[in-house]
Amino acid sequence: MAAEEVAMKRLQGKVAIITGGARGMGAATARLFVEHGACVVIADVLDAEGERLAAELGQAARFVHHDVTDEAGWQRLLAQTAQAFAPVDVLVNNAGVLLFKTIADTSKAEFERILAVNLVGCFFGTKLAGAQMVARGRGSIINVSSVDGMKGANGLGAYSASKWAVRGFTKVAAMEFGHKGVRVNSVHPGGIDTAMGNPYAEPKAEVNKRYTMVPLQRVGEPLEVAYVNLFLASDESSYLCGAEIAVDGGMLTGQYYAGFPGAPGV
């Protein structure tokens, strides 16, 4: 292998666990991590999709059926990771679920389910994988929050609550783990063209019509989030801890109004 090819492998020798890794942003991250030299465990409840992806990626990947709300399941996942490859170096807490309902229409059970997957799952992963990383004096934990963890959105009470909590939890974890060699950061995707963000698989041109008030004027791609995860997983981000990175096409900068100065054609 040529020297320049080796240099391009930004995660050479690292072992990563990606929850919600069977599709969408998780699958894009798994592919990119393997491309850059990592061994990857794809953790998900979507067995068929996860098995297909692991087969596609070859010997550098394994699929493990995993429910992020199961604490004992996390212990098994970490043991299986170490047995297949080595102890975990990178954890991407990517698994998440969405609920579109007003607060008035949301039941206690629905609210608690969103918190269980999006927040408690992140807590278990950070606590248990983080403990292994702390014992070895190194590691990177990437908690996937959302732009809705940095703003409000009507109809997303449970989801926003969970993602704001992930954001705050990441700050505390960064303070507690950072001085022990483990970096913890959060990623905040905006609208991304995934099964969650585009559940009816509409053509990209149609989806983009809903993004006219976003500066980049389009929906994001899973790979665009994956590249941010790659940066945070790599040693290139060695001085980032407690950071929050919005991958949102500029959504959080404010609303873009067509017809105002600076708009196309004006």
**pLDDT tens digits, one per residue of 99-111:** 999 999 999 999 9
Q: What is the DSSP letter of 166?
A: H
Helices (H), 2-140: 3-8, 24-35, 47-57, 71-84, 108-115, 121-136
Distance CA 187, CA 146 (A): 7
Res 266: pLDDT: 53
- Residues contacting 70, CB < 8 A, separation 6+: none
End-to-end CA distance of the chain: 52
* Alpha helical stretches, state H, 178-220: 204-208
Could you say which residues of the chain have pLDDT below 70? Answer: 1-7, 259-266
pLDDT in tens, 81-94: 999 999 999 999 99
User: CA-to-CA distance for 124 and 127, rounded, in angstroms?
Assistant: 5
Predicted confidence at residue 2, as pLDDT, reads 47
Strands, sheet with 244-247, edge to edge from the N-terminal-most edge strand: 61-65, 39-44, 15-19, 90-93, 139-144, 182-189, 244-247
For the domain bounded by 15-195+209-247, which CATH number is listed? 3.40.50.720
Of 204, 203, 224, 218, the closest CA to residue 256 belongs to: 218
For CA atoms 231, 235, 239, 240, give the dihedral sign.
Answer: positive
How many angstroms separate the CA atoms of 30 and 141, rounded?
15
> From the CB of residue 176, how many other CB atoms can be counted at a distance below 10 Å?
14
Q: Check 159, 200, 239, 257 and give the catalytic one.
A: 159
What is the chain's length?
Answer: 266
**Residue 265 backbone phi and psi in degrees, to 5:** 85, 0
**How far apart, in whole angstroms, are the C-alpha atoms of residue 256 and residue 122?**
33
Check if 200 is active-site. no
**Residue 258 phi, psi dihedral angles, 5° rounding:** -65, 140
pTM, two decimals, is 0.93
CA distance 189 to 181: 26
Query: Which residue bears the tokens 């953790």?
Result: 43
Domain ranges of the chain: 15-195+209-247
**Strand duo 182-189 + 139-144: pairing:** parallel
The torsion of the CA quartet 81, 84, 88, 92, rounded to 10 degrees, works out to: -60
